[in-house]
Each structure stands twice: as structure tokens, then as C-alpha cells.
Chain A
Amino acid sequence: MNIVVAMKQIPDLQQVRIRNRQPVLDGVPMTFGSIDKNALETALQLKEAAGGNVIVISAGTEELEDTVKEALAAGADEAYLVLDDELENIESSVSAHLLAELIKQIENIGIILFGEGSGDNYSGQVGPRIAEILGLPEVGYVCDIELEDSRVKVTRSLEDCEEIVRVNLPAVLTIMADINEPRIPSVTQILKAGKKPKQILEVEDIGLDLKGDKKIITLSSLAPENKRKQITVKNGEELVDALLTEGVIRR
């Protein structure tokens, strides 16, 4: 059984600085989203329990060929990639179609894993979109997985309750960040990463028009401004009075 993990290349957010309300991305190295790493760890644990191959799929700029070594070093067996420098900041619908094409190249798929949201955008759309394209069942926000032959028993964590669901395979699952702690790749694995098999596709191979398929436009993207009253109070009583007057608390 092949376990597919979709991962998104994003700038290392801890290194992004804000200048004049604009994010500065120059020189910020690329990495994978942190929840994507939980999804990969889930795949590795499933493989350890039940065998199979872990295949990473991703679409991104040419740098991705290097970035994917992170996933291969962490233990993925293989990578299927779409590389193109035009693939920066593509919207969810485009990512979904590119990744779905990659998935179609892979045989004998059991589970397709996503993080519950990407590290930068966190919209959580691509997993459900791909499930729709491929006509597969999908369960989101999974915090526990149990394999059962041709099915899987998963726990979906909702805001107020947990739901235990049995679903037929193949299925798409999106993973919660707290399901596991991703392993630190060993140096031996890191040095083997470059030698693992990689399938690379071009956008043309997929026949998708990146420019023509825009469904979202971004009007502005700025760091938020902060306008606050900045009133200094002297003691607890004065503070409570001020809050009562403002109407945010009641005695």
C-alpha cells in the first residue's frame, strides 16, 4: 500500500520580518509547513505499523527539488513533484489540480494525508478539493488513526466533541498538529535523501493554464495596524471603574 503525503513549500515564517507593514521575504529560506510535517510523521508511523511506501507529493518553485530532501530525510521513500518557478503563491484550486494529477500517477494508494492547514495560509481547502476531484471520501481534523484491512478507523477532533469514523480506503485524511511530534531526521537519513527516487513533472505535462485559472484576487496584504486608547490607570479600582463605564464587564 502506498501512503501519499501532500506537503507545501513555504518560506520559513520565523524568519519573515515586517518592514513598513510589508513582509520581507528576500533571503528567507524555504521549508515545509509545520503541520505538513505532522502528516508526514503520521505516514511514517503507519508505514512502520503496516508496511508500504511513503510518497511525498508537492508542487512549487524549482527550489522544491532541494526542499523535498527535508521530507526524504525524515523518512519518506519517494517524491512526486511538479516544479515550475511560476508556481509561487498559487491558489488552492490550482494546487489541488496539480497535486491530483500527481496522485493519478501513483498506483495502489491507501491513504492520502494532508496537514489540517498549510503553514502560511492555513485555509485547509486543498485536501477536501482533491478528495472531490478524485471522488474519494475525506475525513478532516484527524487526531488518531487505526488501520483495519481495507478500511481505517479515525478520530475526528471537532471544536466540542470527537467523532470516531470508519471509512473505506482509499481516503483523504487531514491531520491535526497535535497527533504526534515529528521525528528529527538522523544525519544518516539526511545524507541518503538526495539518492531517493524522484518523479518530476512540468506544468505543461499536466496541461493546466496557471494564469487563466485565477479565482481569487488579492487586493492588499499588509501587517495589521494597531489603534488603541492607551489610557494609563493607577489602581485596580480605577481599572474596574473604567471597564464598567466602557460596558465590557458587569459587576
Chain B
Amino acid sequence: MAGIMIYSDKDELSFELLSAANLISGHTGLPINAVCINNSEQAQGLAARGAETYLINNEAINLADSKGMASALESAAIQLDANIILLSSNRRGKELSGRLAEKLAAGCLTDVGSIKVNRDKIECMRNSLGGAVLAAQMITSDYKIIAVESRVFEEMAVGKEGPINNLKIEAQPAELEVLEERAKVGDTANIESANILVAVGQGLKSENDMLIIKELAEALGAEIACSKPVATDKKWLPEERIIGLSGKKCKPDLAVILGISGQVQFTVGIRDARTIVAVNTDENALIMQMADYIMVADLHDLVPEMTRALLV
């Protein structure tokens, strides 16, 4: 019994998982099977990326029912002879991973931020103790379930076409019923998925100055994020935009951090950014120590200057 199986309810996350599976397969030689449930578009996308794809078409399987979903994936894993199961660590993926792990008596790691393969050993890195430490962990049970965070791996590029097979799975009726699905109301910014973030902190003097921040964000094609006090105390931005321990953990390609001193409660949410720019009036602010580009300046002067330079 050996093989890798991947599944995500989200197409792009499943393409990322395919890259993760390739990394493991590259070291172990294990075959990769990609599973799609009631989603032939995703199956085509996976096949286009070279995956041996298995499409389960059974309307009795309800995406919202973790019980039925876990059953379906359990059957798939057995039929496909897969013992390493990669899932996405989005909310649905995390619900599913715990339930599936219990079915398969498997060890399970969620929120995995990176994977390293040492011969046949798969080491997973994840935050622990509320983000204070990074733990390297390994699953020792026969079945292994790994839920990978988004954007840890690049989406697999389209290449050699793989086959799409149909996989027949029996399903029990769900004990729940979806009454309605609705888009989120209000500010739906997803700062976690933004490539570029402009983060403001208490260095911002007034709510009016948010205008220059917006102009810069627009010029950069960035989302605006903030440290906690800007949202909870000053209420200049909604709480969805908080970066940090009690906010979002983001890893954009670029984070422009303006007027934030850099306490660990904040930095835990941004330390994985690829490039960090810190702008602060205090050259000794903690944030400067974790920046790639440091600029000692008042953000109120720098921001318009930067916007102008971008729009040239």
C-alpha cells in the first residue's frame, strides 16, 4: 500500500497540492492520484497539469457534509491504494482532514507551512504555541494526512495531459441540508491571498491620511492591511484587515510596512513575506530588523513620493 492522493474543494488549491505531491513523489517515487468530487472542470484542470485524475460523480455526496465527504475520500484512498493524503488547509480542508484522519486511524498535520522530504520521511513545518515557535513534525502512522496552507506551493503549470478516470463511490444521505449560500457581506478583502500588502500602523496620524495609503495601494496593486490598534482601537479599518497573532497570517511577495513598530504579535503574521519594506521614523524600531528594505522617514512624506515614483 503506497501512493499519494490529493484533494481540495478549490481548483487552484488542488493545483498547488499537485506541486506538493510532485515534491514528495520526486523523493519517494510514489504514484500521484488527484481526486475531484462532482467537479469536472477541476478534473480537467488537474488532468491538463499531468495528474492521473479520478472524478467522483455522485450527487449524494454533499460538499458541506464533512461526514459524507470523509467517507468518500476514505473509499477513494482505499481503492487507489494511497496512504499519503494531501488536503488543502482552508476551512473545508481542515474540517475534512480531522474527520478523515480519524477514519483511517491516521496522524494528521494541518496548517502546514512547508514540506521537506528526507529520503522517505516527510517533514512538515507548522506554527505552534500561538505562533511563538515553528515546529518540524512528522507523521508516523501508516496513513498520513497533511493539510497544506495556500500559496506554500506554486500552482502546477499546465503540461503533459493526464487521464481522467471515473471513480465510483457509494454515499449515505447527508444528515445536513444546505439552505443557502451567500457571498460575504461588507469588506471581503482577502489580505491572505494578496500578492502585495500595504500595512499601516499607529504611525498614521489621522483617518484622513488613509487616502494617501489608498493611492499607494492602488498604484502598487496592493491590498491594505493594518496592525491591530488601527482596527480595534481607532476603527479606521475593519478587523478582517488585521495582520498578526489575533489576525491574519499573510505571506505576500511584498509587504510595505508603514509606521508599525514591529511587536511579535504583529510580525508573526507577516514574517513569511518574501520581501519586506519597513518605513518608520525610528531607525531602531524592531520592524527595521526584519526588513529587506529599510527607510527612515515619516510615512506621510514617503507615501506620496512613492506613489509618484510608481506612476511615472
User: Residues of A with Cβ closer than 8 Å to B?
Assistant: 11, 13, 16, 18, 21-23, 91-93, 96, 119-129, 131-133, 136-141, 153, 156-168, 171, 174, 178, 214-224, 226, 228-237, 239-243, 246, 248-249, 251
Assess whether B108 is in contact with A243, with CB atoms less than 8 Å apart: no
Q: B254 on the interface (CB 8 Å rule)?
A: yes
Q: Does B275 contact A (CB under 8 A)?
A: yes
Of residues 269 through 296 on chain B, the ones whose CB sits less than 8 Å from some CB of chain A are 271, 274-277, 289-296
Contact B99 A122 (CB under 8 A): no
Are B135 and A243 in touch, CB under 8 angstroms?
A: no
Q: Is the CB of A159 within 8 A of B190?
A: yes
Known: A221-B128, A240-B306, A243-B254. A248 touches B196 (CB 8 A): yes
Q: Once the chains bind, are A139 and B176 in contact (CB under 8 Å)?
A: yes
Q: Complex: how many Å from CA A107 to CA B140?
A: 36
A132-B102, A165-B177 known; A123-B110 Cβ under 8 A: yes
* Pick from B103, B183, B306: contact of A236, CB under 8 Å: B306
Closest chain B residue, CB of each to CB of A118: B130
Contact between chains at A242 and B293 (CB < 8 Å): yes
6 contacts between A and B (CB under 8 A): A120-B128, A124-B94, A124-B95, A160-B190, A221-B128, A236-B306
CA distance A231 to B126 in the complex (A): 29
Question: Which residues in B have some Cβ–Cβ distance to A below 8 Å?
Answer: 64-67, 70, 90-92, 94-99, 101-103, 105-111, 123, 126-130, 132-141, 174-184, 188, 190, 196, 220-221, 239, 253-254, 271, 274-277, 289-297, 302, 305-310, 312
Q: Tell me how many residue pairs across A and B have CB atoms closer than 8 Å.
A: 247
Give the nearest-CB partner of A33 in chain B: B130
CB within 8 Å for A165 and B179 given contacts A124-B94, A128-B66: yes
A230/B291 in contact, CB under 8 A = yes
A226 x B181 contact (CB < 8 A): no
Task: Determine the chain B residues whose CB is within 8 A of the CB of A165 once the complex forms.
Answer: 64, 176-179
Residues of B within 8 A of A120 (CB): 128-130
Which residues on the A side are within 8 Å of B134 (C-beta)?
221-224
A70 to B305, CA, bound (A): 52
Inter-chain contact A178/B98, CB cutoff 8 Å:
no
Asked whether, in the complex, the Cβ of A163 is within 8 Å of the Cβ of B130, the reply is no
Which one of B65, B102, B292 lies within 8 Å of A230 (CB-CB)? B292
- Contact A132:B111 (CB < 8 A) given known A120-B130, A215-B141, A222-B134: no
